[in-house]
Every structure is written in C-alpha cells, then in structure tokens.
Amino acid sequence: MISVYPDPEALALAAAGLFAETAERVVAARGRCAILLAGGETPRRTYDLLAHEPLRKRVPWRQLHLFWGDERCVPSDDSRSNAGMACRTLLDRVAIPPGQIHPIDCDSNHQQAADRYEVLLQRFFAGDPPRFDLVLLGLGVDGHTASLFPESPVLDERERWTAVTRRPGEEIERITLTLPIINQAELIVFLVEGAGKATILHEVLEGESDPRQRPARMIRPGQGHLYWLVDRPAARLLRTA
C-alpha cells in the first residue's frame, strides 16, 4: 500500500497516528507490543509528535518494547547514533520503563555486540514467533534500508538475525538486523520524504533493477503487510501515486 501526503508534516502525523493505533490494538490483543525503530532524519518529527499530546496519552508506553533496526557503532551521545536521537526526541519524554528500551550497544567488539543483540531478541521472542508488531524503516538514496547496503554480503544471510556491516566509503562499522527477521514482521512501514528521494523511490517501487542493487526491494513480509508513507515531492515520479 502506498499513501501520499502533501508535505513532511502530514507524513509525520500519519506515521505517528499509525504507531499509536498499532500499539493500542496489539496491546489490547496480546498485552505487549514489539516495535522496531528507524534512525535517520525522516522519523525525527514522527517521534516528536508521539512525545506530545494528544498522541502521547494514546500510546500504552508501559506495554511497549522498543528495538532498533540498525545502529552506527558510535557513542550514544554522538549525533549519528540512532538510539541517541530516539531517546532525545521521544523516549526521554514518555513513561516507558527503561528495561523495555533495547538499544544496540556496540561500544565493545562489534561482532560480539551483534551476537548479544541476537541473543537478546531470541530471549524476548522465546516461545513465540520472532515477529515484530511494527517495523519502521527509511530509504537511502542508494536504495538501502536499515544498514542493508547494495551488494552487501549481509543480503545473503538467511540464518542470523543480526550482522556487522559497513557502508562503502565509511569508516565506522554498523550493526543491522537481517532480512529474515525484518521480513517476519506483522507490519512494515517505510517513511520517505523529499524530492531528493523521488528517483530512488521510483526505482524501488516501479523499477526492474536487481534487488541486490536496491535492497529496499528485498523487504517483503511473508505473512505481514507493507506500507509506504511518502510525501508528494518524493512521489512525483511514481505512476501509481
């Protein structure tokens, strides 16, 4: 499903509303809700809206468990930290128990950190299908999502839930969730804004390129739903918009 909004503010409001609605519905049905957060700039305004009324009081924060799809291996107070951004924008402002916030801690050996995060996820989902209730994702201008980059060997991973990776030309390493765990989600939502994303959005949704060159095309939930929330500038090249 593709939904087009007139501007970034309308997009952020729709995304925040969907977050709140999903959390309410899942908690009412199962008592807890597992959400995978995105980093980058696009979700920042969504998080800010969730931290303020009227949405803040709608979300059952004490029944949420929050995880991250990927993280740069930088200190948490570094401006590039995905968890740091979410904490400053949202999590420090709402009544979610600290023990239910699960950032990727890659301060030490990065492979060991990836292993620890996989164990954490396995313990959380023990006895249940490893299925996030909601996954938020962004789209890079090269077609990557999370830290799943074009032609990366990580795209071939079928067993592990986490992996260490690196963006071409970038010195810092990253930890990312892999395609098998992301694609088991109940609902995956891409947030895409700005004219600068128009070409890649068109390629991902309507192009015929090898999915390994545009990894966002490899996000295909097997038993869940996939939504694209985009603003009008980003959607300007889409035939279906």
CATH code for position 36: 3.40.50.1360
Number of domains in the chain: 1
Give tens-digit pLDDT for 196-238: 999 999 999 999 889 999 999 999 998 999 999 999 999 999 9
Q: Does pTM top 0.85 for this prediction?
A: yes
Confidence at 129, pLDDT banded by 50, 70, 90: confident
- Tell me if 141 sits within 8 A of 200, measured CB to CB: yes
Distance CA 172, CA 178 (A): 18
Note whether residue 195 is domain-resident: no
Length of the chain: 241
Give tens-digit pLDDT for 32-77: 999 999 998 999 999 999 999 999 999 999 999 999 999 999 987 8
Note whether residue 101 is domain-resident: yes
What mean pLDDT value characterizes the chain? 95
Note whether residue 162 is domain-resident: yes
Summarize the confidence of residues 3-31 as an average pLDDT. Answer: 98
| Residue 153 pLDDT > 80 | yes
Phi-psi region of 43 (alpha: psi -120 to 50; beta: other; left: phi over 0): alpha
Note whether residue 100 is domain-resident: yes
Note whether residue 235 is domain-resident: no
pLDDT score, position 241 = 61
Domain enclosing residue 159, as ranges: 2-167
pLDDT score, position 75 = 85
Note whether residue 220 is domain-resident: no
Note whether residue 202 is domain-resident: no
- Tell me if 132 sits within 8 A of 124, measured CB to CB: no
Note whether residue 179 is domain-resident: no
Distance CA 111, CA 64 (A): 27
